[in-house]
Structure 1
Amino acid sequence: MLTMEQQKYIKKCCINKGESINSVAKKTGHHWSTIKKYVEKEDFNQPIKIRQKRTTKLDKVKPIIDQWLLEDKKAKPKQRHTAKRIYDRLCEEYADIFSASDRTVREYVSKRKKELYDDTEGYVPLNHPGGEAQVDFGEVEFFEKGTKISGFHLNISFPNSNAGYVQLFKGQNLECLLTGLQSIFKHMGKVPNKIWFDNLSPVVSKIEKQGKRKLTEGFERFALHYGFEHNFCNPNSGHEKGSVESKVGYYRRNFLVPIPRFDSIDEFNKKLFVKADEDMKRAHYKKDAYISKLFELERIMMRDLPKKDYEVYRLEKAKADAYGKVKLDKDYSYSISPAFSGKEVWLKITHSKVHILNEDYKTILSHNRLNGKNYESMDWVPYLVLMQKRPTALKYTSFYDDMPLDLKSYFEKCDREEKKVGLKVLSKLLLEMDLEKASEVFKLAEEKNLRDEDSLTAAYHRLTRGVLEIKDIKLSMNVPNLDPYITNNSEYDIFLKGGVQ
């Protein structure tokens, strides 16, 4: 299989430059059938199995080196770190995690200093033909279901027409970026020919010599699938994409003030598309035409959407800890089950969900993806099964601390066996309702002093379905009145030869 760079080169030669398959085969040294395969390839979805990235001995201390170099910018030149001083400090202060050579440190420090102290003396006006776009994130706050979130808005601008769109996200990771771009492409029904980006870490994994970028595989795959070219600004050169820089502020002031409040971020993003389309019905600041008309002309120049859809996700392997939890992005923890303690699982990560899969890629559990300061997502149902065996442990869990007062009151009055029964019923209820609703069942049970499983289940049905009302049967006037029948048990005694006592 050819690398992404080779695939991109083949497509560029055959599609963009119009070269024949045979000529590209001779140029690259690949068989003509291989060239034909990649020219006709339309689906660049990520395969299930991905190769793990190789690490270097310097990876663990790169953030430390970067921090020292950033602090040096505030110091006088003669009091800044040399590569040798950095190497010596790492040996002295971080011997437990550092084992790289002096030469490796020198090469990394040299590269980072060039990036940090590279000054630009002036700006050159850039020309942006129709069909090109610029993309950037901006920070924004919003409320979803009453919870305040410090999130981001993804902005795309078309400098030629001054059109653009904006979408809200809770993070600015690769999945959010690609999902936002995909939504915008689908809304437009077109794909820009070229897109300018900042050096976002989810996209650019490394800036090499002469400004060449090493891109993440997920981004490369997405770009190949949709067929757009990508350009990147120089570090600290926001002026190179000034159109979208202006749009970031414009959309924040005009679309996101006052602070947005909504129940569903997906529904709000649909409204932002409508608002952006309406906003284009105004005159261009320089050209004698409406933005909407100019944008229609731009759309004609753009690429068509690919026939096959693209599923935006990242696949990672993780190992559950002793508590049956897995870590994602170092800071965030997601529960699975105590049964998965020490086992390996797959994480299928989208912009809003983390799906935990077994070795056969079947879904075990799904969580909302964490962002900001939410560091743990717990689904307690699998753990309640374990707690049925050790009911006394309930009181010492964070689940118990978060219980509604009515539910906590019920369990405080239970003995060991009653707690087992209560936990068993609670684990079933949580599959159908949230904790607050389940608490109402146990409140009713406490009022009626119910402790066995059947009575708790009946209380659940009574609360959710109501009490069945049995109405009196009204008889017709034609039905005669009958004398009441009284049973004489002595007749049965005679029949059984018992006689009457």
Structure 2
Amino acid sequence: MDQIHHIRQLYYEQDKNISEIAQELHLNWRTVQKYVDMEDFNLPQPAQKPIQNTCPKLEPYKPLINSWLQEDKKAPRKQRHTAKRVYDRLKVETDAFDCSYRLVAEYVKDKKKQLHLDNKDKGKLPLIHHPGEAQGDFGSADFYENGYKHSGKYFVLSFPYSNQGYFQLNYGENMECLLEAMAAVFEHIDGVPEEIWFDNTSTIVTNIIKGGGRSVTERFLRFQEHYGFKAVFCNPESGWEKGNVECKVGYSRRNFLVPVPRFLTLADYNKQQLLEADHDGDRDHYRKDSTIRELFEKDKQALLPLPHIPFELAGFISGVHTNGWGKFSLNKGTHEYSVSPRHTNTVVTVKLTSKTVTVLDENQKEIVTHKRLYGEGHQESMEWLPYLNYVSRHPRSLMNTGIYTMMPKEMQTYLSGCEGPARGKVLKILSELTERTGFDSALQTVNQAVAYQVTDADSLKNLYRRLYADVPELPPMKLHAGIPQMKQMTADLASYDRILLKGGVANG
């Protein structure tokens, strides 16, 4: 540019002609004329890197190679194509293939980097998301199930490439809630993300190893290997590394959890929310010139297939000891569950889902099932049916067992007033009522019996029918206008006395 500036200065400022300038600077006159007439002084665009593998002989085979490598993303690592395998297949499966192995190897190497199939190339640019990647996180939300309020959690699985997201509401944030929510989304979208980003939640991560590694729970590792996805964990206190799902947690709460949801069953509600999330994909992407649904199709194309073998989502705890009351505790003693009088001071197996706690005997047969407890502080779940069944067969020993002292005060008062064979009948009826509609209904019936001061079994049955029998109340019958109305008549009891006296019967 210094020389160009000097040429133009000699011409425009010192009025020298082109020949004089060429002679003075020892340049060709055409060169001088070029820079004198030059009007565009923008820097030239940077030269593009030469495109590799442009050999026209390989071009017809690239779509086939690309399809093989794309399928490799769904295959186990040891069953993916090497460059040699690609070269051998092209020679066998295509006609007139005559490219060199070196040309094929260079193309396969570059293509694997684009598809992130090269295990040696671990580097990724931040905030660059590829189809098939997902992020997961929990949020908090209240909800009412069948009229009962829960302070629950909801798990969100988002896809940053398309900005599609799905959430599942649950009672808490334990392992069962996490696995059930993830499996439900996988089944709904008919595939598994190749890679899922998480934070360092204690539900999954048990220890952060120096150097960036993570120790995770065995159940999560088994779930991960079964479905085949790669779990990636953010740096500690670095939630922005999974910013898409952080935003999606807030978006789901504002758009689907306001007002506070009310429904009959959580399972039906969660199924409906998966469909609502599909419909939400019809809106435009916030940055790309397309809808979320259209972009999500590329996400779905990159998903791994669902496993053929179902994964057991429930957790099992073996070697659980019961106490002298036939009870055991979970969650560091805060949640207590009953078993049965036959299983005091023994060992049982506990099966956990997000909703239930099922107790199994030594033969893996169900003893009793509880609704799972959530929340802080000591709580107790008591299933009375096994206890009532036991004492109904041994009514005389009721007062000498710990079962009597465990009962609510109202039931103690009622049963203490029952004597002899009547107590056995009453206990049997209470057992039947508990099995039919639950212990609360049996207890309410007992409260009514105490109020009416009745202790026999038949009265207990009748009181239960009055409280819980589904007998519709019929409306008053409407008479046709042509039917005459009955006159109100007042009975004269003195007339009856006179009639009785005539018959020789005295009026008592």
TM over 0.5: yes
1:332-370: CA deviations, max 9, x gaps?
Answer: 111001221110000111111111111111111111111
Tell me the CA shift for residue 315 of structure 1: 1.1
Counterpart-to-counterpart distance in 1, 2:382 and 2:258: 34
2-structure distance, mates of 1:353, 1:422: 30
Larger Rg: 2
User: What amino acid is aligned across from residue 247 of structure 2 in structure 1?
Assistant: S
Q: Return the letter of the residue paired with 2:398.
A: R
CA distance in 2, matches of 1:434, 1:233: 47
* Structure 2 residue corresponding to 1:380, chosen from 377, 381, 384: 384
Deviation of 1:152 (Å): 0.5
Following superposition of structure 1 onto structure 2, how do residues 206-245 of structure 1 map, counting pairs within 5 Å?
206-245=207-246
**Structure 2 residue 350 is the aligned partner of structure 1 residue 286:** no
Any conservation in 1 of the 2:417–2:455 contact (CA below 8 Å)? no
CA RMSD of aligned residues (A): 3.1
Q: How does 1:408-487 map to 2 (within 5 A)?
A: 410-411=414-415, 413-415=417-419, 418-438=422-442, 451-453=455-457, 464=469
Contact kept? 2:398, 2:404, Cα under 8 Å = no
Q: Which among 355, 362, 366 is matched to residue 363 of structure 1? A: 366
Match of 1:14 among 78, 102, 111: 78
Which amino acid is the alignment partner of residue 266 of structure 2?
I
Residue of structure 2 equivalent to 1:104? none
The answer to whether the 8 A contact 2:142-2:152 is kept is yes
Q: Rate the CA distance shift 1:324–1:182 in 2: closer, same or farther, 3 A.
A: same
Give the equivalent residue in structure 2 for 1:336.
339
What is the CA-CA distance between 1:449 and the residue it aligns to? Answer: 7.4
Q: TM-score, normalised by structure 1?
A: 0.64
Say whether the 8 Å CA contact 1:314–1:350 is kept in structure 2: yes
Q: Match of 1:203, as an amino acid?
A: I
> 2:186 maps to what in 1?
185
Residues 447, 371 of structure 1: CA spacing in aligned structure 2 closer, same or farther, 3 A cutoff?
Answer: closer
2:12 match? none
Distance 1:237 1:179 in 2: 26
Deviation at residue 17 of structure 1 after TM alignment? 6.5
Query: Is contact 2:198-2:232 (8 Å) kept?
Result: yes
Separation of aligned partners in 2, 1:242 and 1:252: 16
- Is contact 1:319–1:343 with CA below 8 Å preserved after alignment? yes
Kindly indicate whether residue 150 of structure 2 is the aligned counterpart of residue 134 of structure 1. no
The residue type equivalent to 2:324 in the other structure is A
Give 1:437 deviation, angstroms.
3.7
1:148–1:243: structure 2 CA closer, same or farther, 3 Å change rule?
same
How far 1:399 sits from its partner (Å)? 3.5
Task: Provide the C-alpha distance between the structure 2 equivalents of 1:19 and 1:448, rounded to a whole number of angstroms.
Answer: 89
Aligned sequence identity (%): 40
Partner of 1:150: 151
Q: CA-to-partner distance for each residue in 1:310-331, whole Å, 9 max, x for gaps?
A: 1201111200011111112212
Contact 1:154 1:167 in 2 (8 A): yes
Whether the 8 Å contact between 1:347 and 1:356 is mirrored in structure 2 is yes
1:400 aligns to 2:400 (yes or no) = no
User: How far apart are the structure 2 equivalents of 1:137 and 1:15?
Assistant: 35
Q: Distance in 1 between matches of 2:178 and 2:418?
A: 51
User: What one-letter code is carried by the residue in structure 1 that aligns with 2:246?
Assistant: E
**How far apart are 1:171 and its partner, in Å?**
0.9
CA distance 1:455–1:258, change in 2 (3 Å):
closer
Secondary structure of residue in 2 paired with 1:156: strand
Letter in 2 for 1:438: A
Which residue number corresponds to residue 39 of structure 2?
A: none
User: CA distance change for structure 1 residues 399 and 408 in 2, over 3 Å: closer, same or farther?
Assistant: closer
How far apart are 1:142 and its partner, in Å? 1.2
Aligned-pair distance for 1:271? 1.7
Report what 1:268 is aligned to. Answer: 269
Structure 1 residue runs of 5 or longer lacking an equivalent are 1-10, 21-123, 467-501
Q: 1:320 to 1:133 in 2, by over 3 A?
A: same
Give the 3-state SS of the residue equivalent to 2:276 in structure 1.
Answer: helix
| Amino acid across the alignment from 1:434 | G
Whole-angstrom CA distance in 2 between matches of 1:259 and 1:441 = 34
- Corresponding letter in the other structure for 2:315: R
The whole-number CA distance in structure 1 between the counterparts of 2:158 and 2:470 is 53
1:347 aligns with 2:350: yes
CA separation in 1, counterparts of 2:465 and 2:83? Answer: 71
1:390 matches 2:454: no
Shift of 1:465: 8.7
Letter in 2 for 1:337: S
Q: TM-score, normalised on structure 2?
A: 0.63
CA distance in 2, matches of 1:242, 1:439: 52
How many residues are aligned here?
351
Alignment correspondent of 1:173:
174
Amino acid at match of 2:160: P
Structure 2 Cα separation of the partners of residues 219 and 152 of structure 1: 19
Describe the shift of the 1:17–1:325 C-alpha distance in structure 2 as closer, same or farther (beyond 3 A). farther
Please give the alpha-carbon distance, in whole angstroms, between the structure 2 residues aligned to 1:148 and 1:458.
Answer: 33
User: 1 CA distance for matches of 2:426 and 2:470?
Assistant: 20
CA contact (8 A) 2:160 2:244 kept: yes
Per-residue Cα deviation, 1:450-492 (whole angstroms, up to 9, x for no partner): 64557756876897598xxxxxxxxxxxxxxxxxxxxxxxxxx
1:448 positional shift: 8.8
Which has the larger displacement, 198-207 or 169-178?
198-207
User: Is the alpha carbon distance of 1:202 and 1:19 closer, same or farther for their aligned partners in structure 2, counting shifts above 3 Å?
Assistant: farther
1:267 to 1:201, Cα distance in 2 relative to 1, 3 A = same
Change (3 A) 1:398 1:160: same
- Gap change, CA 1:229 and 1:372, over 3 Å in 2: same
